[in-house]
Amino acid sequence: MNTELFNTEANNIWRKAPSETNVGQLNIELELYKKLLNFFQVGDHFYLIFNLVNIQVDLVSNDVQAVLGCQPSEFNIEYLLNNIHPDDRPWFLNHENKARDFLAGLPVDKLTKYKIRHDFRVQKKDGSHIRLLSQGVVFEHNEKGVILRSLGVFTDITHLKPEGKPMLSFIGLDGEPSYIDVDVKEIFTVSKEYLSKREKQILLLIIEGKLSKEISEILHISKQTVDSHRNNMLAKNKLKNTSELIAKAIKQGWI
C-alpha cells in the first residue's frame, strides 16, 4: 500500500468518528495525569493527544525524541503514518477501523472505560525499525458520545516482541471485560482472566523491582504467600521464569 493511499484511508477512518465541526481549547494537566495512571509502560515511550475533529496532534510529549529520534516540533499524524512499516499498514487500518466500530457500539458512560491496544512497526529517523505498542483511551467526548480527543501512549516493545503479526485488543477498565487478540473479521469473544486480582497486584510490584519480602509488607501478606502466588503464575501459564511472565503479561494485556 503506497503512502498517499494509506494516509487517505487512515484519515477517512478517523473522520467518521466525530460529527462536531469544532472543539474547545485543551485544558489537560490534571485530567491527563489521571488518564496516564491507566497505562503501563516497559521501555521508552511517549504520549500524545489526538484531535479527531481536526485530525491533528494537539500535544506530544518530549519523549518522542528518545523513541523515534525526531523533535516534538517535527512530529504530527502525517509523520507517524508516513513511517509505519509498509507491511503493517493494512493491519493498522484494519485495527483502527475495528476500534472505531467498537467504540461506536459502546454506551456513552463506557467510552472512557476501554483501552485500545495494538502494535505496529515504525521507522525511526536513523532508518532502523522498532515495534510500537499503541495504547489509546477516549480523552474527551460530548454528551452525545461523539469522541473529540483521544490520549495515546506509544511504547517501544521491540525487546518484548521482535517479530510476529500485529495484535489488537480492547482492555476493559473499572471491571469491564477485555477482548484479547481480536479477529477483525469475527464477532468478539470475551477473554478469560489469566491472573487473579492478587496475582496482578504482586506482578506489578515485581515489575517495579520489589523483592518478595517488600511485597509482603506492602500487601500485608506473608513472604511465603507472595512466593506461592509467583510460582502459581509461572506454573499455570507454563513459563520458566519471572522475565517470561512479565513479557507475556504485557503482550497479552493481562495488566
CATH number at residue 125: 3.30.450.20
Backbone angles phi, psi at 136, to 5 degrees: -130, 145
- Residue-wise pLDDT for 58-73, tens only, equals 999 999 999 999 999 9
- Residue-wise pLDDT for 68-127, tens only, equals 999 999 999 999 999 999 889 989 999 999 999 999 999 999 999 999 999 999 999 999
pTM for the predicted model, two decimal places: 0.68
Summary count for the chain: helices (H), strands (E) = 9, 6
Of the candidates 87, 93, 98, 92, the residue with the CA atom closest to the CA atom of residue 163: 87
How close are the terminal C-alpha atoms of the chain, in Å? 34
Between these two residues, 195 and 124, which has the higher pLDDT value? 124
Amino acid identity at 193:
E
Claim to verify: residue 154 and residue 205 sit in the same structural domain:
no
Where in the sequence is the domain holding 227, given as residue range(s)? Answer: 197-252
Amino acid identity at 251:
K
Domain membership of residue 28 (yes or no) is: yes
Residue 249 in this model has a pLDDT that exceeds 90: no
Claim to verify: residue 145 and residue 97 sit in the same structural domain:
yes
Domain membership of residue 242 (yes or no) is: yes
Of the candidates 75, 99, 29, 19, the residue with the CA atom closest to the CA atom of residue 52: 19
- Per-residue pLDDT, 133: 95
Domain count, the chain: 2
Of the candidates 10, 3, 14, 12, the residue with the CA atom closest to the CA atom of residue 147: 14
Domain membership of residue 192 (yes or no) is: no
Domain membership of residue 206 (yes or no) is: yes
Claim to verify: residue 151 and residue 28 sit in the same structural domain:
yes
Claim to verify: residue 56 and residue 114 sit in the same structural domain:
yes
Claim to verify: residue 82 and residue 163 sit in the same structural domain:
yes
C-alpha cell belonging to residue 97? 477501523
Of the candidates 161, 158, 163, 188, the residue with the CA atom closest to the CA atom of residue 176: 188
Whole-angstrom Cα distance, residue 80 to residue 97? Answer: 17
Claim to verify: residue 24 and residue 128 sit in the same structural domain:
yes
The overall average pLDDT reported for the chain is 87
Of the candidates 140, 90, 151, 83, the residue with the CA atom closest to the CA atom of residue 115: 151
Q: CA–CA distance from 164 to each of 23, 120, 247 (Å)? A: 38, 10, 14
Claim to verify: residue 202 and residue 167 sit in the same structural domain:
no
Claim to verify: residue 165 and residue 235 sit in the same structural domain:
no
CATH number for 210? 1.10.10.10
Q: CA–CA distance from 20 to each of 16, 105, 140 (Å)? A: 11, 18, 12
Backbone angles phi, psi at 147, to 5 degrees: -80, 125
